[in-house]
Structure 1
């Protein structure tokens, strides 16, 4: 059976990476999610995709220039589907507290060596505090992040995010001891999928929003789909 992950919560239905978006995802009975993390100025893990604020809020500047409390005062509804009430930028701790997901793909964007180390250590500390060590996977396309995760938090599962195939994603995943491969759907051929699964990888394909494509990839045998529309995916795949 193909599992479903809500992309940034339910990005197509509610403002991405906000509590409203993750609650929308859970409301459809989709118990797995993918989200993006950055560190605030005071070292808190905050849930936002870009390193800067302007795409999703009315503010400018870098996420890392603000404290978690300041970020929580910004409204992250900009550019998303219409939403009536303000949607603050949440911390990962708030989501862990409020949202009973069965599994979390926590994507960490590229980072310097020091920032990668600080980020993966902060994830581990939080996951341990909430008893979620077995239900989170740190994912990244950044070798720096995967290396930090492999060496500093080896007890947390790792996943490679692969958007391009200029390096063999399976080889890279193997190099960093990954358990999961988050594959851009355009790279998901039946042959690559089978090779990955033979290698013991859980193959999670993103971002899949068309019902026909959902059915095709499910027929291929992908382990999970990441979608902006968890309600539609649930209705399509049952």
Structure 2
């Protein structure tokens, strides 16, 4: 009898899905993995301790026990997906291949989307002292491919018998940058998802962005991949969700915007709230007391104290 009921239920669900134009297909079970109860994310790996968005920074974050590696994605001229926050080499903390400073006059000259990855890889992004992060360990480093980061992280997890982590990948895009700093949203997402699927980590991926367009493309084409809306504006939850056009898995506001009312509202929508970027123990404690579902920090070493 129970088997008959299960069969009838399955048929009903299938018929409903086929007859409703608004219902998206149910994603496979392996893609429905829940997020951690409290998600501790290493911002750009462990930016406060090692050069941002590099493999050493990601491995350091894993060593410190994060549940999610947070990172930024850009696209090179030859279509490679690489890690970088800025769309160009940032003279504040990055150097020319010769080891020399990037002149002020060329501050935004070296655009990643206008350079092949083979050239991008020759720049040194870890040897220059970065005054904003005085604890950052200096080392020669380069902007890695996303595929390299995944391979390195997965190998480290296996070698050290660690729990599987999530990958929170930000698409660095905005409408004014299309064709100059990055490809259009559809092309950007196609290239990013191709790497994710090649490395077979789809169930462990979150795609986040300040740009609703990339999230909209992802939700339309790959509704099983988790999404996070990054927010630093004062429009409020309802208007931001209305602009996005669907309910994301995560709402990720600037930490100073988090209030008890915002936490309550996001939970009422069934959305997790994970603020950025939280770099003091006191602020972590304040936000956790408000009921947030995770934290994004440049200093994942503070999580042990939390």
Task: Give the TM-score normalised by the residue count of structure 2.
Answer: 0.72
Which stretches of structure 1, 4 residues or more, deviate above 3 A after TM superposition? 80-84
> Are 2:44 and 1:8 aligned?
yes
2:237/2:262 contact within 8 Å kept: no
Contact 1:185 1:206 in 2 (8 A): yes
1:74 to 104, 116, 123: 123
Matches within 5 A, 1:154-233: 154-165=223-234, 167-173=235-241, 175-232=245-302
User: Are residues 1:107 and 2:170 paired?
Assistant: yes
1:84 shift after superposition? 4.2
For the residues of structure 2 that align with 1:138 and 1:84, how far apart are their CA atoms? 29
Q: What is aligned with 2:207?
A: 138
The residue that corresponds to 1:40 in the other structure is 76
Question: How large is the Cα RMSD of the aligned pairs?
Answer: 1.9
1:11–1:229 Cα contact (<8 Å) kept? yes
Distance 1:76 1:31 in 2: 25
Distance 1:173 1:44 in 2: 31
Greater C-alpha Rg: 2
Deviation at 1:98, TM superposition (A): 0.7
Report if the CA contact (8 A) 2:45-2:60 is conserved. Answer: yes
How far the C-alpha of 1:20 sits from its partner, in A, is: 1.1
CA contact (8 A) 2:76 2:115 kept: yes
| TM-score in terms of structure 1 length | 0.91
Please identify which structure carries the higher strand content: 1
For residues 48-68 of structure 1, give each alpha carbon's deviation from its aligned partner in whole angstroms, at most 9, with x where no partner exists. Answer: 001111244224410111122
Q: Does 1:63 align with 2:132?
A: no
Q: Using a 3 Å threshold, how does the CA distance of structure 1 residues 72 and 170 change in structure 2: closer, same or farther?
A: farther
CA contact (8 A) 2:50 2:57 kept: yes
Q: What is the aligned counterpart of 2:217 among 142, 148, 161?
A: 148
Structure 2 gaps, min length 5: 1-36, 97-108, 155-163
Larger mean Cα displacement after TM superposition, 60-69 or 15-24:
60-69
SS at match of 1:206: coil
Aligned match of 1:88:
142
Structure 1 residue 170: Cα displacement: 4.0
CA distance in 2, matches of 1:125, 1:162: 26
Is the contact made by 1:120 and 1:153 (CA closer than 8 Å) also made in structure 2?
Answer: no
Query: Is the contact between residue 2 and residue 221 of structure 1 (CA under 8 Å) also seen in structure 2?
Result: no
SS of 1:99 mapped into structure 2: helix
